[in-house]
A = this chain, B = another copy of it.
Amino acid sequence: MLSKVRIIGSGLIGTSIGLGLVQRGVCVEMVDSDPAMTALAKDLVGGVEVIDPELVVFAMPTSQLAVVIEREFSINSHSTFMDVGSVKNEVVLKIQTISGLSTRFLPTHPMAGREIGGAGSARADLFQGRSWILTPEPECASESKELVLDLITMLGATPIELSAGDHDRAVARISHLPQIAASLLGKQLIGTPADWMELAGQGLRDTTRLAASDPQLWKEIIHTNRAQIEELLISLQNDLMAMIDALDEPEKIEELMQAGQVGRSLIPGKHGGLAREYSFLPIVIDDKPGQLGAIFNECSAMDVNVEDLNIEHSPGQLSALITLSLSQHDAEKLSEHLSSIGWNVHPIRN
């Protein structure tokens, strides 16, 4: 079992790894190029100094990785190394330039973190229930891989193995492309009269939500994974051109919209299963404390599991439309029950 770990980088990810490991009895040393960050992380995680760590974790921006790897490799000649960056091919190329490193370096990417930043936001349970991707090269030693798998499972995450190339292609499509689309769509809103914006509904909010993410962070991710992102952007651009060309031909517009519907349906449902068709139950409530709680109490009493929830507020009004995503059976049961006790339930949509 893992007992001594050195973590370089005391941001959200590094500090969260530190907290989680310390809770499970591992000796952890936190290091950061910024002394103030190191101090904060040590306060949070504990102030151990680790000699001969079994595992050195790089939890820093990819751009700073190159310098640090060489230093750590020369100091810790018996350790295993891992990183946690969002793009993997560049890391693989880097480690192959350092003789002897590639058997003991495992590139990884925990699917956690989001918009939260800094050691102050760190949590021991940040990785609980998340996927943690490993992209080992063939020459990676099995003992090294065991150590990394130990860390991942200790933190409650699920290890998933992909090649570095597949990882970068996968995240380009399911994460980087949607981020760019949301940001560029958000950009189109600049200059919109305020009274037009008042008409904005949930659709605009959902499609642009990611545009609020940190541009600094995304600058680096997009730049590093540009090789995989470029072809996706070109494909999107071609489809946009096809839509512009189709504007005079309703049948072609419909074809493009249908393709969008097909692609969207490939997103899997909850618990990583196949895409599930939910039923949607709309309920109009007074927009005041207590209403949502009352509804969820009824759900609980009826043994109904809410898969998702959307709240839509109307402009200038004190009522809200909430839409529960449920199994069809639960939707019918709950609809009948809530109607019978006087809630303003609208017809189920499938």
Please give the residue numbers on chain A whose beta carbons come within 8 Å of chain B beta carbons, in ascending order: 111, 115-116, 120-121, 123, 125, 128-131, 133, 158, 160, 162, 166, 169-171, 173-175, 177-190, 192-201, 203-213, 215-216, 218-220, 222-223, 226, 229-230, 232-237, 239-241, 243-244, 247-251, 253-254, 256-268, 270-272, 284, 287-290, 292-297, 299-300, 303-309, 311, 313-319, 344, 346-347, 349
Q: Smallest distance from the beta carbon of A184 to chain B beta carbons, Å?
A: 5
Checking B166, B249, B263, B303 against A189 with a beta-carbon cut-off of 8 angstroms, the contacting residue is: B263
User: Known contacts A215-B257, A347-B120; is A235 also within 8 Å of B175 by CB?
Assistant: no
User: Known contacts A185-B177, A223-B250; is A208 also within 8 Å of B121 by CB?
Assistant: no
Checking B173, B174, B306 against A292 with a beta-carbon cut-off of 8 angstroms, the contacting residue is: B306
Beyond the given A207-B209, A218-B253, please list 8 additional residue pairs across the A-B interface where CB-CB is below 8 A: A129-B315, A160-B195, A173-B189, A187-B260, A197-B266, A229-B247, A292-B299, A293-B295
Q: Is there an interface contact between B296 and A293, defined as CB atoms closer than 8 Å?
A: yes
User: Known contacts A207-B182, A226-B247, A346-B123; is A197 also within 8 Å of B267 by CB?
Assistant: yes
Which residues in B have their C-beta under 8 angstroms from that of A288?
305
Q: Is there an interface contact between B188 and A235, defined as CB atoms closer than 8 Å?
A: yes
Q: Smallest distance from the beta carbon of A117 to chain B beta carbons, Å?
A: 9
Which residues in B have their C-beta under 8 angstroms from that of A111?
199, 201
Task: Across the interface, name the chain B residue whose C-beta is closest to A293.
Answer: B296
User: Known contacts A185-B260, A210-B207, A211-B261; is A174 also within 8 Å of B190 by CB?
Assistant: no
Q: Smallest distance from the beta carbon of A294 to chain B beta carbons, Å?
A: 8
Task: Across the interface, name the chain B residue whose C-beta is closest to A233.
Answer: B244
Can you pick out 25 interface pairs between chain A and chain B where the beta carbons lie within 8 Å of each other?
A: A158-B315, A169-B196, A170-B192, A170-B196, A173-B192, A174-B197, A174-B201, A178-B203, A178-B208, A179-B203, A183-B257, A184-B240, A186-B262, A186-B263, A206-B209, A206-B210, A218-B257, A219-B251, A226-B247, A233-B244, A271-B317, A289-B306, A290-B296, A292-B306, A294-B296
Which residues in B have their C-beta under 8 angstroms from that of A295?
293, 296
Q: Is there an interface contact between B190 and A262, defined as CB atoms closer than 8 Å?
A: yes
Q: Is there an interface contact between A243 and B180, defined as CB atoms closer than 8 Å?
A: yes
Which residues in B have their C-beta under 8 angstroms from that of A123?
346-347
Task: Across the interface, name the chain B residue whose C-beta is closest to A300.
Answer: B290
Q: Smallest distance from the beta carbon of A158 to chain B beta carbons, Å?
A: 6
Q: Is there an interface contact between B266 and A220, defined as CB atoms closer than 8 Å?
A: no
Q: Is there an interface contact between B192 and A266, defined as CB atoms closer than 8 Å?
A: yes
Task: Across the interface, name the chain B residue whose C-beta is closest to A289.
Answer: B300
Checking B131, B195, B211, B243 against A233 with a beta-carbon cut-off of 8 angstroms, the contacting residue is: B243
Task: Across the interface, name the chain B residue whose C-beta is closest to A282.
Answer: B116
Task: Across the interface, name the chain B residue whose C-beta is closest to A122.
Answer: B347
